[in-house]
Structure 1
Amino acid sequence: MHFTPLRFGTAVLPLVLMLAACSGDQQEAPLVEAQATPAVAPGSTAVTAARIKAADSTPGEWLTHGRTYGEQRFSPLDGINADNIKELGLAWYAELPTDRGIETTPLMADGKLFVTASWGHVLAYDAKTGEELWHFDPKVPKDYGVHACCDVVNRGAALWGDNVYAASIDGHLRALDRDTGEVVWDVDTRINTTDSYTVTGAPRIVNGKVVIGNGGAEMSVRGYVTAYDAVTGEQAWRFYTVPGNPAEGFEDETQEWIADTWTGKWWDNGKGGGTAWDSFAFDPELNLLYIGVGNGASWNQKIRSPEGGDNLFISSIVAVDADTGDYAWHYQTTPGDHWDYTATQHMILAELPINGEDRKVLMQAPKNGFFYVIDRATGELLSADKYMPVTWATHVDMETGRPVEAPGMRDGNSDTMVSPGPSGAHNWHPMTYSPDTGLVYIPAKSSSSIYADDFHTLERDAVWHVNYNVAAMVGMPDEVPAAARAAIGKEALAAELIAWDPIKGEAVWKKPRGYYSGSGLLSTHGNLLFQGDLTGTFSAFAADSGDELWSYPVQGGVMASPITYTIDGEQYVAVAQGWGGETGLPFGSVSGPQNMINISRLLVFKLGGAETLPKVPVVEQQLVAAGVEVASSEFVESGRGLYNLYCAVCHGGNAISAGLIPDLRYRIAEIEPAWQAIVIEGGLAANGMPAWKEYLTPDEADLIKEYVKHEAVLGAKRGERRLVRAP
C-alpha cells in the first residue's frame, strides 16, 4: 500500500495539525463592543506616527515591530559595544505563560515592555525591574491549533495611542489598554469560520489603521489583508491577494485582472492561498504599505492552476495605498510558485547608492534563495542574486525580472532534488540592516527537498502532497530514495548567518550557526549583531567581521528577535526564548535539540547584570516496551502511512517527538485502553488533541496505534532515553 506522508492544500488537510500540548482555561474570551472613546487619553504619552518617525531621535525606545517603519531592526544605541560586550550579564528574566513556540519581538515604550506568547497571550513588564504589570489571556480553545499549519505561534504586538494591539491564533484582533490590559475592542478578522484561518504575525499601524494578515494557505484558504480603525475597530479596507470565484463577482478591478493569470477552478482547488502571514513595511513619504504574500494552495500548480499562469499575487511583494488599500505595484519573486516559496519573509526599506544614484529600495531574502533589491516607489527590480544554494532556477533575467527555471523542476519526479526546500533558504526569522556597515544580515539555512506528484490518494484528501524534508527524515524506504534521504539529512538543515552586501550582491562573511536556523537579528551602532540559536545560546558578533565577541547559555532554544532600549540612561538588550514552530514539531527524529528541555522566558541583559537563571530539574526516562504487543507487518505498514499523513507533523517522524508534543511511544502502554476515546472522540481536546472522527475511522485509528506500538518496541530495543522536566 502506498501512502504519501504529507499533503498540503486540501480542504481537509488534516496532516498539518498542531496537536497542542498546552493546557489552560478553555472558556471563551468575552467579546467587548467597539468603543468610540479616543485611544489617546489627555496628558498621556501616546504612540503616534510622529513619534515612530522620530525613532532615531529617541533611540531608547522600540515602538514598532522593526523599530522603525522601514523595519531595519538597527539601533543607534552604542552604550553596549564591541569593546565592553564581555561585561554584559543577565539583568532580569520572566517566565512566559506558554511553553513552546515563542517568536515575539518585544516592544518598549515609556518604561514598559510588551511581549506576546503562543496562542496570543499578551504581557506587560516594567522594563527596568521585570515586574509583571498585567497579562491578557485570549483563552483560545486549545484544539483550535488543528487549524494552524506551523504551530500556534505569535510574532508580536503593535502600539498606538494608549493601546496595545495583538491578534490571537483564532483570528481575533484586539485593542488592549496599555496600562491595564483590559480589552478596548475585539474583532474577528476571519471572512468565515469554516475555513482554517489563523493569525501568527504582528500587526502594523499606519495612518491610524491596524493592518493584519492571516495564515492558512496550507489549509486551503484565500489570502487577504485588512486594515481596521485603531480607535473603533471598524474595518477601513480589505485587499485580497488572490482572486475569488468569478461566478460570485470580483471585489475590484485588481481582482478581475489578476484572475487572468489563473486557470482551472483555483477557487475550489485550494482557494488560491496567498496568505500574508508575516511581513509588512511602510513608507510614510510615498504612503505605500508593502505586503509580503505567501505560497499558492495547493502547492502543486498542476492542480491549483493546471494550464499554468503566474497566479498573482502569490509569492509576491505588493504595494498598496495605505489609506485605501488600492493596488499600486507588485513584484513576483516566484511566478506560478510550485515549491512553497513564500515572499512573506522580512522586508527592509533603505536608501542605497545604485549605479551612482541614491535609490529608495526595498530588500528581501525570501524562501526561494534569491536576494532582491527593488525600487520601492515603482517596483522596478534592481538586482537579484543567489544568497544560498539554488537549483530550481539558474538566475533572474534582469530584462524581464523573471527567474529562469532549471529544466525538470516542475516534473514531480521522486528522484529530483530541489533547493531550497519548502522550509526555504530563509524563513520568518527577521533580518537586519546596519547603515554603519552597509550590510544586510540574513539568518539563512540550507535545505533541499523532493516534490513528487501523487494523485493516487484517498478521495477525501484530494489535492496536493509533497515528499519533502519530513518525508525523507521519517525514513520511509518506499517513499524516498536512500540517496535523497541522505542529502536531506540533518547536515543539510544547517543554519548560516550571512553578512550580505546588497549593492555588490555578494556575501562579505558567513558563520555556521548549527541546526536549522538561528534566531532573528538585531544590529546596533556599537558594531554588534545579536542572535540566538536552537542549542540554547544567545550570542553577540562583531557586525563588521562576524567575530563572536560574547555568548550566554540561556538553557533553551531561541528563535525570536532581540531588541535594545534604555532606561535611566542604561542600555538593555531583551530577547524572548522558547523553541517550537515549524522545526519543533515534525522534525523530532532528526532534530538537534530534541533532548533539550524547552523553556519559555523573556530575558533582559545589561552591562554588569548579575542575575542567574535557575537550574531546571530534569529526569531521564528510558523507553520500555514491556507489555506492548504489535500486530502483523501489514497492519503496521498501513498504520505507518496513516500516521505520516495525520500525525507526523506534530508528533514527529518515526513517531519520535522533539519534546514539545507528547512522544506517543513513551505513553502507548498507558493510553492504549483510551486510544479510541482520545483519537476519535477528542478526549484530550482541552489539551490540544482534536477529535478525528471526521477524518479517520476507528479501524484506521487502530492501525495508527499499531504503528506507534511498533516504533515503541524498536526504540526500546535501541535503548532509547529522553530527558524531561522533573515533576
Structure 2
Amino acid sequence: MAPFSKLLGVSAHCVSAAFALSTLIVAPSAHAEDTTPHPGEALYQQHCASCHEGGAVARAPETASLRQLPPERVRFALTFGLMNQQGRDLTQSQIGDVVRYLSATAVAAAPPLPDSSCHDPGPLQRDANVPRWNGWGADIRQHRFQAADMAQLAPDDVPRLKLHWAFGFPNDTRASAQPTVWGGRIFVGSAGGKVYALDAKTGCQRWMFDAGFGVRSAITIGEDDRGATAYFGDQRGEAYALDAETGKLIWKTRIEPHAGAVITGAPTLADGVLYVPVSSLEEVMAADPRYPCCSFRGLIAALDAHSGEVRWRGYVAPPAQSVGTNSIGTPLFGPSGGAIWSAPSVDGARQRIYATTGDSYSEPPSATSDAFVAFDLASGQLAWSRQMTEGDAYNVACTARFTNNCPKTKGPDFDFGSSPMLVDLADGKRALIAGQKSGMVHALDPDHDGAILWQRRIGRGSTLGGVQWGAATDGTNIYVALSDVGIKPVPAGTAGAQKSVFGNTLKLDPAQGGGLYALNPATGEIVWHTPHPGCDERPGCSPAQSAAVTAIPGVVFSGGLDGHLRAYAATTGAIIWDVDTVKDYTTVNGAAAHGGSLDGPGPVVAGGMLYVNSGYANYGTMPGNVLLAFSVDGQ
C-alpha cells in the first residue's frame, strides 16, 4: 500500500471507508440542537459506532469527523464507495436516515469564498521563460530538480528565506497535494476536493474548482491550440482537464471502473498524451471479511489530452481469477494489487513509460508487484518488469481483528511510493533510480530490460519506513531522504502522544528514523550522509524524513515529520537553513491555518520563491492545512 497508509490495529466492519472519508473532511452545515431521538441514531449505533467511537479503530475517523462531511459524500461512501459493504446491509431509506443523523448536529460552515480575490485580473503569463515547476518532478523524467534560470534562487540566498505569504485550506487536516507553478500562478489541490489557482507572488485567489472528492495529485499544465490546460486526478479515480485561465471544466474521465481505484500520482504529459497512474484503496476494503478480496490491478491509462478519450490502459498484471473462498465463504481472487502511487517517467528515445508498483493484495503474489515496470508508449503493452521484493502479498486484514482476507505471506509490505527517475550516466549509459520502503535504493538499466546496475541500503525499512515519496537528482548526485519512522499505539493521555485523524492515540519515537543521503548515480556509493539534527525533546516529534526531496543548483531541500523544512549544501550535506512550519498563520484568504508534519509532496522552487505544504495528519503525525510561500527576506 502507499507510504504512511497502513493500519496499526483494525476492526473489520466500518473501517473499510475510513481512508476515503478521512481525506474528505470539509466544513459542515448548521442545525439547531434537538433532543428528539433521530431515526438514524439506532442504525448508526448498530452498524458503525463500534468502529467510529472511542478510538476503537485506528483508521476510522470518529463520529465528530463524520459529521463534518457533506451528506452526499456520506451517501456515496455507503452506496458506492469504501463503505458499500456496510451499506449493503441497509435499505436506501435507512442509508438516508444514517446520513441525516450524521448531519443533524453539524456546526455552521464558513461562507464560500469568492471565485477571485485578486485585484489585478491579469492573464496567465504563457511566455516559456516565465519560471515554472510543472507537475510532480518538474520534467517528464521526474528529477525533482529546478535549473538556475527557473529557480532564480542562489545558494547564498537560501539562508535569507522568510515567509512571504500563507494560504489556508479551509477545515482540512492535511495538505498533501504538491503545488504547481506555471504562468505566474500556483495550481494546487486540497483534501477537501477543491482545486485553487493562486497568484504566485501574492497568494490571492484567481479561481477555485470543486472536484467533489479529495485531490492529492500534483497538477500538470499543458498547452495546445485552445490555450493552457490543468490536468489532475482525484480520490474517486476521475481525471480532469480544466481551463487553466478560468478554472472551467473541459472534460472529466473515469479512468478505471474498479470501486477502489484512486489517483494519487500526478499525470505525465508528453506529445499530446496524458499518462495517468492509478492506485487503489482495495487493500483497506479487504479488512471486511465479507469483501471478495481482491481484484484491483495497477495501471497506467493513456488519454488524449485534448478530448480525455482513453487510448489505452496498461495493466501490470492479467485479470484476477477465482482462488477459492475465505473462512466464512466469501470468494477470493488473485493476483491483485500492484498499485501505481507515483508519477511515471516518459522515455522518448525508447518510446516507453516507466513506473514503480505497490505490493500484492492477495494470493498468489504477483510477479509485477514491488517492481519497476515499462510500458510501450504506443500500445500500453507491458515491455518488461523487474521485481525488487518477491512474494509480498499484504492487505489491511493482516492487522485486523478478523484476518479472513489476509494472505498467507502477510507482507512485508515493501511497495514503492517513489517515481522512477530516468538519469543519464557517463558514456551514453542511463539508469532508472528509485527508493523503496524496504530501505533500498535501486538503479536499473532501461536499455537492457531493467537489468540491475546497483542497489544500496540506506535504512532498515518497514511498512512506514525506508524511502517513502521520492528522491531528486542534479546530475551529480542522487539525494534520498529516509523515513524509518518509529510509531506505536499508546493509551490516551500519554505524554508526547498525538491523536490521529483516525481516532486512536499514537506516539512517535523521537530517536528513530531520518537522515538525508547523497549517492553516486553510477555506483550507488554514499557520497555523504547527514543525520537528522534531533527533536530537542519536542513532544510527539519524529526525526523521520518522509516527504519527497527537491534540488536546485547547490542546494537540496528535505522536509520531516517534525514539521521542519531544511536546506542542505549539495556538496557537503551541511544544513544551511531550517524553518519550523508548526505554528498558526495569518492567511491571505482569511482561513484559519496551522502547520504540521511535512510528508508526501516536497517543496517546489520557481522565480526566487519556495512553496511548500505543511500538515499531514495520520499515524500520530501533526495535522495542518497551509500552503507556505517563502522569498528572500520575505520580500
Same fold (TM over 0.5): yes
SS at match of 1:160: strand
Are 1:214 and 2:279 matched, yes or no?
A: yes
Distance in 2 of aligned mates of 1:561 and 1:489:
21
1:576 counterpart = 2:588: no
**Do the aligned partners of residues 518 and 334 (structure 1) sit closer, same or farther apart at CA in structure 2, a change above 3 Å counting?**
closer
* 1:120 positional shift: 3.8
How far, CA to CA, are the matches of 2:491 and 2:140 in structure 1?
40
Give, in angstroms, the shift of residue 236 of structure 1: 0.7
**Residue by residue, what CA displacement relative to the aligned partner does 1:662-700 show, whole Å, maximum 9, x if unpaired?**
xxxxxxxxxxxxxxxxxxxxxxxxxxxxxxxxxxxxxxx
Deviation, structure 1 residue 362: 0.8
Q: Is 1:515 paired with 2:570?
A: no
Q: How does 1:305-384 map to 2 (within 5 A)?
A: 305=364, 311-337=366-392, 338-353=411-426, 357-384=427-454
Q: Which residue of 1 aligns with 2:16?
A: 14
| Mapping for residues 138-217 of structure 1, pairs under 5 Å | 138-140=211-213, 154-161=216-223, 162-192=228-258, 195-212=259-276, 213-217=278-282
In the other structure, the counterpart of 1:599 is 624
1:107 deviates by: 1.5
C-alpha distance in 1 between matches for 2:465 and 2:490:
16
Q: C-alpha separation between the residues in 2 aligned to 1:536 and 1:70?
A: 28
TM-superposed deviation, 1:281: 0.8
Mark the CA change 1:187 to 1:383 in structure 2 (over 3 Å): closer, same or farther.
same
Distance 1:489 1:535, change over 3 A: closer
Q: Are the structure 2 counterparts of residues 383 and 270 from structure 1 closer, same or farther at C-alpha, using a change threshold of 3 Å?
A: same
Structure 1 position 364, deviation (Å): 0.9
Deviations 1:321-350 (A, max 9, x none): 122212222111112223111134221111
The 1:389/1:561 distance shift into structure 2, 3 A limit, reads closer
Aligned length: 463
Conserved 8 A contact 2:198-2:206 = yes
Partners of 2:512 and 2:147 in 1: how far apart? 34
Query: For 2:456 and 2:269, how far apart are their aligned partners in 1?
Result: 33
1:286 is aligned, of 345, 350, 354, to 350
SS at match of 1:85: helix
Question: Which residue of structure 1 lines up, in the alignment, with residue 458 of structure 2?
Answer: 388
Q: In 2, distance between residues paired with 1:191 and 1:371?
A: 33
Does residue 1:60 correspond to 2:87, yes or no? no
Structure 2 unaligned segments of length 5 or more: list them: 1-6, 29-68, 74-122, 286-293, 393-410, 494-506, 533-541, 584-594
Mark the CA change 1:447 to 1:553 in structure 2 (over 3 Å): closer, same or farther. closer
Structure 2 CA distance for partners of 1:127 and 1:389, relative to 1, 3 Å: closer
CA contact (8 A) 2:356 2:371 kept: yes
Q: Is the 8 A contact 2:133 2:605 kept in 1?
A: yes
Corresponding letter in the other structure for 2:555: L
Q: Taking structure 1 as reference, are residues 221 and 135 closer, same or farther at Cα in structure 2, changes over 3 Å only? A: farther
Amino acid at match of 2:249: V
> Which residue number corresponds to residue 114 of structure 2?
none
Deviations 1:460-516 (A, max 9, x none): xxxxxxxxx6579999xxxxxxxxxxxx97256422222222333232222333433
Note if contact 1:115-1:122 (Cα within 8 Å) is conserved in structure 2. yes
Change (3 A) 1:447 1:609: closer
Q: How far did residue 83 of structure 1 move?
A: 2.2
Deviation of 1:19 (Å): 4.7
The 1:64/1:292 distance shift into structure 2, 3 A limit, reads same
Q: How far apart, CA to CA, are the structure 2 residues paired with 1:473 and 1:444?
A: 28
Q: Which residue, 459, 462, 465 being the options, matches 1:421? A: 462
Alignment partners' CA distance in 2, 1:98 and 1:236:
38
Once the 2 structures are TM-superposed, how far is the Cα of residue 530 of structure 1 from its aligned partner? 1.6
- State the partner residue of 2:300: 225
Pair 1:432 & 2:462 matched: no
Percent same amino acid among aligned pairs? 24
SS of the residue aligned with 2:159? Answer: helix
Match of 1:504 among 523, 530, 548: 523
Q: How do 1:114-125 residues align onto structure 2 when only pairs under 5 Å count?
A: 114-125=187-198
In 1, the alpha carbon distance for the partners of 2:248 and 2:480 equals 37
Tell me the equivalent position of 2:360.
Answer: 296
Partner-residue secondary structure (3-state), 2:515: strand
Q: Do the aligned partners of 1:27 and 1:139 also contact (CA within 8 Å) in 2?
A: no
Q: Identify if the C-alpha distance between structure 1 residues 184 and 489 changes in structure 2 by more than 3 Å, giving closer, same or farther.
A: closer
Tell me: CA distance 1:98–1:240, structure 2 relative to 1, closer, same or farther (3 Å).
farther
Alpha-carbon separation, structure 1, partners of 2:481 and 2:492: 26
| Alpha-carbon distance, 1:359 to partner | 0.8
Q: Is the 8 A contact 1:121 1:168 kept in 2?
A: no
Q: Which amino acid aligns with 2:185?
A: K
Residues 119, 154 of structure 1: 8 Å contact kept = no
Distance 1:489 1:102 in 2: 20
* Structure label with greater radius of gyration: 1
Deviates more, 1:269-278 or 1:162-171: 269-278
- Report the TM-score, using the length of structure 2 for normalisation: 0.66
Aligned-residue CA RMSD (Å): 3.2
Equivalent-residue separation in structure 1 for 2:171 and 2:448 (angstroms)? 43
Structure 1 Cα separation of the partners of residues 379 and 26 of structure 2: 40
Amino acid at match of 1:519: A
Distance between the aligned counterparts of 1:160 and 1:427, measured in 2?
A: 28
Q: Choose the corresponding residue for 2:339, options 275, 290, 293.
A: 275
Query: Following the alignment from structure 2 to structure 1, what is the Cα–Cα distance between the partners of residues 184 and 254?
Result: 31
- Flag the 1:216–1:238 CA change in 2: closer, same or farther, 3 A: same
1:75 partner SS: coil
Structure 2 distance, partners of 1:528, 1:541, is 6
- Alpha-carbon distance in 2 for matches of 1:245, 1:95: 43
Q: CA–CA distance in 2 between the matches of 1:73 and 1:349?
A: 11
Residues 28 and 233 (structure 1 numbering): CA distance in 2 closer, same or farther, change over 3 Å?
farther
Alpha-carbon distance between aligned partners in 1 of 2:189 and 2:361, rounded to the nearest angstrom? 29
Tell me the distance in 2 between the aligned counterparts of 1:315 and 1:472.
31
> What amino acid sits opposite 1:172 in the alignment?
E
* Higher normalized helix content (fraction of residues): 1
Which position in structure 1 is the counterpart of 2:79? none
Per the alignment, do residues 11 and 159 of structure 1 end up closer, same or farther by CA in structure 2, a change over 3 Å counting? farther
Map of 2:484 onto structure 1: 446
Distance in 1 between residues matched to 2:10 and 2:631, nearest whole Å:
46
* Aligned counterparts, 1:326-725, within 5 A: 326-337=381-392, 338-353=411-426, 357-390=427-460, 420-428=461-469, 430-435=470-475, 438-446=476-484, 470=488, 490-491=509-510, 493-513=512-532, 514-525=542-553, 527-554=554-581, 555=583, 556-557=595-596, 558-559=598-599, 560-566=601-607, 571-580=608-617, 584=618, 587-588=619-620, 593=622, 598-610=623-635
Tell whether the 8 Å contact from 1:499 to 1:510 is kept in structure 2 after alignment: yes
- Assess, with a 3 A threshold, how the Cα gap between structure 1 residues 171 and 371 changes in structure 2: closer, same or farther: same
8 Å contact 2:355–2:419 — kept in the other structure? no
In the alignment, which residue of structure 2 is the partner of 1:76? 147
- Secondary structure at the residue paired with 2:572? coil
- 1:658: which partner in 2? none
User: 1-side partners of 2:511 and 2:484: how far apart?
Assistant: 6
Letter in 2 for 1:129: T
Distance of aligned partners of 1:340 and 1:217 in 2 relative to their CA distance in 1, 3 Å threshold: farther
Q: 1:386 to 1:59 in 2, by over 3 A?
A: farther
| Letter of the structure 1 residue corresponding to residue 345 of structure 2 | A
